[in-house]
Amino acid sequence: MLKIGILGFGTVGKGVYDRFHRTRETIERQLGESFAIEAILVKDRQKDRASLEEGFVTTDWDEFKNHHSYDIVFEAIGGIEPAYSYTKHFLTQGIPVISANKKLIASRGEDLEACAQAGGTFYGYEAAVAGAIPIINALRATLSTTSIDRVRGILNGTTNYMLTEMIQKERSFADVLLEAQQLGYAESDPTDDIESYDAWYKLIILSRLCFGKWGDTEQITRYGVSEIENWHVEVANELGCQVKLIGDAKLEDGEVRGIVSPAFVAGDELLASINGVVNAVVLYGEDIDQLSFAGPGAGGAATANSMVEDFILHSRYDGDRVVAEEQHEAKEESSYSIVFVNQASYGECLHWAEAYSVEIVESIPHSEGEAWIVKNAAVYELSQPVYQLYGNIQRITSANEVKVS
C-alpha cells in the first residue's frame, strides 16, 4: 500500500486530499496498488476536520515526520520556510515530494533538485506553473528532446482577469482589484500578483525546463501592473491591442534572459484572446514553430489536480527532459515597446531618447501626454511606464488613424 503525507491543509492541501478521495478507484487502477493518506500537517488543529475520512492530523513537525515512512509527500505550505527544510528532509531520505510552491521552487529549486538526485528520487512541481496546464510534464515527457529557444505566456490568472475587465469593460484598476479580492482570485495583500512576483517565479521555473539551466534572476526583469492608467488603456484600444501581463524568456549568448511586464498585444495574436483567469504558454522552437497551451490558471481545484497528476506521471514515467549541449538561440528580431510620456516626464524621456539614440517609430498624442512606439530601445533605463509590444508593427501603427483624446 502506498503511504501518502500532506504538508499543509489550506485550499490546495485540502484539494489534494479531496481529489484522492473523489477519484480513488481510478487512481488505484492507474497505480496498480491501493493508497492511504497517513498523516496531515496543519497549522491550526482547532479547525473543523470532521470531513476527514482518514489520516493522522497534527501541528507538530516531529510528530508528522516520524509518524510513518512515507512513499510520497505533497507540500502545500507555501513560502520559503519551513517548506524548504521540510522538503529537503524528505528528498535527502529518498522520498519524493510534489509541490505547487512557486516561490520556493524559483528561489531554491536548483538546490532541491540536487537533493532529489542525490537521494535517488524526484521533486515534482507541475502545479507551480499555469494551474491546470500540464506544461512542465509536457516539456519533461512529450517534448523531452525537442529544442525550445523561446517561451512566452500569460502566467498569472489574477492579473489577466483584472486586465480583461479593464480593457473590455473600461473599468478602473482599483475597482477590478477589489472585485478580484472579493471573488477570491487575489489575496488581501495582492503584492505578489500585481507587482508580478508570481508570474516572475513561474517564468524562472519554465526557463529552467526549456533551456536546461536555472537562470540568473538578475537577468529576468520584472515590472508590475499597478502603474497602468486609464489613458494607457485608451491608447491600447485605439491601436486594437489587448493589455496583458506577459512573461517572455529566451537564450541569448548562452544565458537565459527574460522579462515579465505589461504588454500591448495585437488583437490577432493568440495571447490577445486569453481572457479571465485563464493562463497560456507558447513554446517556440525550430522543429515545432509555435506550440500553444491554455487552461485555467487560478483556483485550488486546478492546482490540486495538477499535483495529483504530477505524482501519477512520475509513478509511471521515469524520464526527464534532455537539453542539447548546443541549444538553438532565439532568432534575432526587432523588439518594440510603448513608452508613456506625460508632461512631468517629457524632459526626462526626451533626454533618454537622445542619449540612447532611440528610434521613435510613432508618437501617439493624447490629452494626458504622448505614447511613443520605440524600436530596440534600452527601456530599462526609464522610470516611466513601459509596455512590450507584440504583433505586426505595421498593422498596429496603421490602426492609429484617429487621434486618441
- What 3-state class would DSSP assign to 68? coil
The torsion angles phi and psi of 5, rounded to 5 degrees, stand at -120, 145
Cα–Cα dist 264/232, whole Å: 10
Structural domain of 371:
336-398
The verdict on 149 and 286 lying in the same domain is: yes
Catalytic entry in 202, 244, 250, 403: 202
Instruction: Judge whether 129 lies within some domain.
Output: no
The verdict on 149 and 59 lying in the same domain is: no
The verdict on 286 and 146 lying in the same domain is: yes
Cα–Cα dist 189/382, whole Å: 27
Cα–Cα dist 304/298, whole Å: 11
Q: Is the per-residue pLDDT at 48 higher than 60?
A: no
Q: What's the average model confidence in pLDDT over 122-133?
A: 85
Sign of CA dihedral 387, 393, 399, 403: positive
The verdict on 280 and 343 lying in the same domain is: no
Q: Which range has highest mean pLDDT (201-205, 295-299, 300-304, 306-310)? A: 201-205
> Which triple of cell numbers denotes residue 135?
506544461
Q: Is the per-residue pLDDT at 37 higher than 80?
A: yes
Kindly give, in sequence order, each residue whose CB lies less than 8 Å from that of residue 14, ignoring residues fewer than 6 positions away: 300, 304
The verdict on 61 and 151 lying in the same domain is: no
The verdict on 343 and 254 lying in the same domain is: no
Burial (CB count <10 Å: 0-12, 13-18, 19+), residue 26 = exposed
Q: Is the per-residue pLDDT at 53 higher than 70?
A: no
> Which triple of cell numbers denotes residue 256?
537565459
Which is nearest to 397 in space by CA: 370, 367, 363, 368?
363
Instruction: Judge whether 265 lies within some domain.
Output: yes
The radius of gyration computed from the CA coordinates of the chain, to the nearest angstrom, equals 23
Number of Cα atoms under 13 Å in the Cβ half of residue 213: 16
Identify the residue with better confidence: 404 or 345.
345
Cα–Cα dist 143/288, whole Å: 10
The verdict on 143 and 212 lying in the same domain is: yes
Cα–Cα dist 265/261, whole Å: 12
The verdict on 140 and 110 lying in the same domain is: no
Q: What's the average model confidence in pLDDT over 311-323?
A: 71
Instruction: Judge whether 329 lies within some domain.
Output: no
- Is 202 among the residues known to form the active site? yes
Q: What length does the chain have? A: 405
Q: Is the per-residue pLDDT at 330 higher than 60?
A: no
pLDDT digits (tens, 9 = 90+) for 149-177: 999 999 999 999 999 999 888 888 999 99
Q: What's the average model confidence in pLDDT over 15-44?
A: 92
Instruction: Judge whether 307 lies within some domain.
Output: no
pLDDT digits (tens, 9 = 90+) for 55-114: 789 999 999 999 878 999 999 998 999 999 999 999 999 999 999 999 999 999 999 999
The enclosing domain of 141 has a CATH number of: 3.30.360.10
Burial (CB count <10 Å: 0-12, 13-18, 19+), residue 316 = exposed
- Total domains in the chain come to 3
Q: How many CB atoms lie within 10 A of CB 85?
A: 10
| 3-state secondary structure string across 265-279 | EECCCHHHHCCCCEE
The mean predicted confidence, pLDDT, of the chain is: 87
The verdict on 113 and 150 lying in the same domain is: no
Q: Is the per-residue pLDDT at 142 higher than 50?
A: yes
> Which triple of cell numbers denotes residue 208?
529552467
Instruction: Judge whether 108 lies within some domain.
Output: yes
Give the CA distances from residue 271 to residues 35, 227, 300, in Å, rounded to whole numbers and listed in that order: 40, 21, 24
Read out DSSP for 111-168?
A: HHHHHHHHTT--EE-GGGSSTT--HHHIIIIITTT----EEEEE--HHHHHHHHHHHH
The verdict on 148 and 15 lying in the same domain is: no
Instruction: Judge whether 109 lies within some domain.
Output: yes
Q: What's the average model confidence in pLDDT over 245-261?
A: 91
Cα–Cα dist 246/314, whole Å: 30
Rounded to 10 degrees, the C-alpha dihedral 30/99/10/164 comes to -100
The verdict on 277 and 148 lying in the same domain is: yes
Instruction: Judge whether 321 lies within some domain.
Output: no
The verdict on 54 and 176 lying in the same domain is: no
The torsion angles phi and psi of 133, rounded to 5 degrees, stand at -75, 125
Angle at 78 between CA 74 and CA 83, to 5 degrees: 65
pLDDT of residue 404: 41
The enclosing domain of 372 has a CATH number of: 3.30.70
Identify the residue with better confidence: 249 or 295.
249
Instruction: Judge whether 317 lies within some domain.
Output: no
pLDDT tier at 385, thresholds 50, 70, 90: confident
Q: What's the average model confidence in pLDDT over 20-45?
A: 91
Q: Is the per-residue pLDDT at 49 higher than 60?
A: no
Kindly give, in sequence order, each residue whose CB lies less than 8 Å from that of residue 301, ignoring residues fewer than 6 positions away: 15, 19
* Long-range CB contact pairs, 354-357, < 8 A, 24+: 356/381
**Of all residues in the chain, what percent carry a pLDDT higher than 70?**
91
**Of all residues in the chain, what percent carry a pLDDT higher than 90?**
56
pLDDT of residue 403: 42
Taking a C-beta distance cutoff of 8 angstroms, is the pair 76, 8 a contact? yes
